[in-house]
Amino acid sequence: MKTTWMRAAAALFLVNQLFFSAPVVTRAQDATATTQAATLDGYTPDESAAERALEDRFRAVPRADGAREHLRQLTKEAHLAGTPEDYQTALYVRDRLREYGLSAELREYQVLLPYPRTPTLLELVAPRRERLALKEAAIPEDPTSSSPKIVPLYNGYSATGDVTAPLVYVNYGLPADYDALKKLNVDVRGKIVIARYGHSYRGVKARVAEENGAVGCIIYSDPADDGYMQGDVYPQGPWRPETSAQRGSVQYGFIYPGDPLTPGTPAIPGTPRISREQAASLPKLPVQPISYGDARRLLEPLRGPVRPNGFQGGLPFPYHVGGTPDVRVHLKTDMDIRTATIWDVIARIEGDAEKDRWLVLGNHRDAWVFGAVDPNSGTAALLELARGFGELLKQGWKPRRTIYLCSWDAEEQGLIGSTEWAEENANDLKEKAVAYLNVDVAVAGPNYSASSTPTLWRLIRAATRDVRDPKTGKSVYQAWQEHEREGQPEADTEAGTSPREARIDPLGFGSDYTAFLEHLGVTSLDMGFGGDYGVYHSAYDSFTWMSKFGDPSFAYHAAMAQLWGTIALRLADAPALPHDYGDYADQIRDFVNETVKTAQRRKLADSFDAKAILDAAKELSDEAARTRAQRDELLDTVARSRVRADDTHPRAVARLRKLNDSLLAAERALTDPTGLRGRPWYQHQIYAPGFYTGYAAQPLPDLRQAIDDRNTANAREAAQRIAAAIRRAAQALRDGRESN
């Protein structure tokens, strides 16, 4: 489960998998951020200078060789969630945090976790009998690839099943693919489907197969998307070799993530559990991932119609869709889905003036196998960041606000460790959380990308300007912007036009920010350095792969620690929070306009009141501008009162706090406690995963869903609720200001 992977991959083969891209920000204010010594947003000039000096001291600490050593230790053994090896990594993280001077504790949860009881049996039974290997080959150059503890290939929360049926190739296994098959009169009811990975979350493929009446679902990595058509395969190159398959959860996390038996509540002793039959996040059919080497044995004999548009992959024969009785397969899965203990590691750095305001940083630690890229590049960065914070603490620094550093467990099965912690601390987080900063994959290559709520766009762009990109020596921002421009058509990069701001994507589903943003309404970001990453969720995502391809010098690990820490310091220490709702209103307007276009194409534009949402967005935009103006005034008052040493200072500070709280309340106001239609756990009215979009966000989720369903009553109601949420956010900002 990973968005960073999707982003890394997007550049390569999942072009335009996001429905919306963030709008271009061309405001005059942004130009000032390019000046190195510019006053930090939310600081007085004096405080800004002190903070910049503090940041410099911090950024001098994270080291490449430190990150390399962490990664070596964390990836020695496979450490699937809930195993003794996972526990060892929790102790490693806890002990390093303590060594650096931070207080850190384990937090346990008892959750439902999926393991294979026996390896899956998959065989072709007609036209000939052939059992598939379903095993990633040991590679002599990669010592860990021969470990006996590598978990067999499986999909987390696949049902146990034993089915024999004709096989149908369903392309990416999404609704449009099934529509194409229906036009060919190919029915998948009672059949086993084989889908290729890509274009959505694998759990969506399982769900759509189930909805269409399939009795089993095989998911494979096609070489066109994820293999030799991208380049040399491992160990010659970074791409997926013939026997490698992508493990991964098929939990229906778009209904709710986290422990399947305790939605909305923490999985601790005493919490009532629902039954497995009641758990809407659990698939009911057997699902199995396979390699393209194995898939070839199944796809080559298929007959029936030849490749509808877009169905052909990279194997060397024309793809037929099958569904005929002469090609049949036998799939037998045997899963052990049981309650197991998981271990989050939570470190807390007590704040000073505002210790009851929290900044939360998180990365998951558990992996399908060794997880060098996903997720332990992020763990290594987190530990180097912690070492930096530890140094600052030794020098006498105390953050204004309390900082949490979290090492989550069981993300891979369904964002479980973060979701349970967020649910356990829901009331505190709703009151106190300033932001959640997620890094899952810190490094798969050199290309920076970010997703966030628009509140943090300015901050991300400003911070990336102050961290050096190891390869180019330019700022991370500049390298990011230039890399993005390379992939754009000429027209956009004409001489004379000022370069676009680098794009920041909307958050969807796929890493540990989900509970914070989409359940609780906490402003969030997710970021990483991507690249040619072809070993996702395989046994080859190893220390050797990272050392050869991902980040041989480990300089990008250190850069991520510097960047993550810089953003954290600015948020933890700023007298005035930098959250910007002007950008948020712009983003909402873009979402609405996109949605209106889609509705017009479907002749549904009259079914809802788009103007009410746009008016609410305008109101939010106006309130944001007033809040920013008052904030700058108050900062000015604080700065001037310092000079005069008069008593306006404490009053201005108190008013700033109220203003800050209104910036948190505005994001919270975008949630609705009744939740989204059919999935009450998801409460944010602007951001959620779609039922079918997988990792990608489906902005204005209920409205988009209603339009997809052609349900005009739902569309009308969803639009009203979205407009009301935006108006509540505007009201929250208004409430935060006092008239002078």
Please list the alpha-helical segments (H only) found in 602-647.
610-644
Among residues 41 and 366, whose Cβ is nearest to Zn ion?
A: 366
Nearest to 418 by CA among 518, 271, 504, 270: 518
State in angstroms the smallest separation of the CB of 374 from Zn ion: 4
Say if residues 523 and 661 touch (Cβ distance below 8 Å).
Answer: no
Among residues 216 and 528, whose Cβ is nearest to Zn ion?
A: 528
CA 619 from centre of chain:
30
DSSP 547: I
State in angstroms the smallest separation of the CB of 8 from Zn ion: 12
Among residues 2 and 728, whose Cβ is nearest to Zn ion?
A: 2
Among residues 390 and 417, whose Cβ is nearest to Zn ion?
A: 417
**Amino acid letter, 128:** R
Mention every residue, 6+ apart, whose C-beta is less than 8 A from residue 116: 151, 152, 154, 333, 334, 335, 336
Bridge pairing between strands 328-349 and 401-408: antiparallel
CA 621 from centre of chain:
27
φ and ψ at 505, to 5 degrees? Answer: -85, 160
State in angstroms the smallest separation of the CB of 367 from Zn ion: 8
CA 153 from centre of chain:
23
- Burial class of residue 403, CB neighbours in 10 A (0-12, 13-18, 19+): buried
Give catalytic status of residue 350 as yes or no.
Answer: no
φ and ψ at 475, to 5 degrees? Answer: -75, 155
State in angstroms the smallest separation of the CB of 1 from Zn ion: 6
Note the residues at the interface with Zn ion (CB under 5 A): 2, 374-375, 440
State in angstroms the smallest separation of the CB of 29 from Zn ion: 35
**CA 352 to CA 357: how far, in whole Å?**
10
Phi/psi class of residue 415: alpha, beta or left (left: φ > 0; alpha: ψ in -120 to 50)?
A: left
Among residues 374 and 469, whose Cβ is nearest to Zn ion?
A: 374
Q: Which of 411, 423, 484, 518 is catalytic?
A: 411
State in angstroms the smallest separation of the CB of 513 from Zn ion: 12
Among residues 359 and 439, whose Cβ is nearest to Zn ion?
A: 439
Mention every residue, 6+ apart, whose C-beta is less than 8 A from residue 635: 42, 43, 44, 575, 576, 656
**Amino acid letter, 462:** A
Among residues 512 and 661, whose Cβ is nearest to Zn ion?
A: 512
State in angstroms the smallest separation of the CB of 61 from Zn ion: 25
In order of 134, 135, 174, 200, 298, the CA distances from 294 in angstroms are 7, 9, 22, 22, 7
State in angstroms the smallest separation of the CB of 738 from Zn ion: 44
Nearest to 111 by CA among 323, 340, 443: 340
Among residues 375 and 736, whose Cβ is nearest to Zn ion?
A: 375
Residue positions annotated with a catalytic role: 411
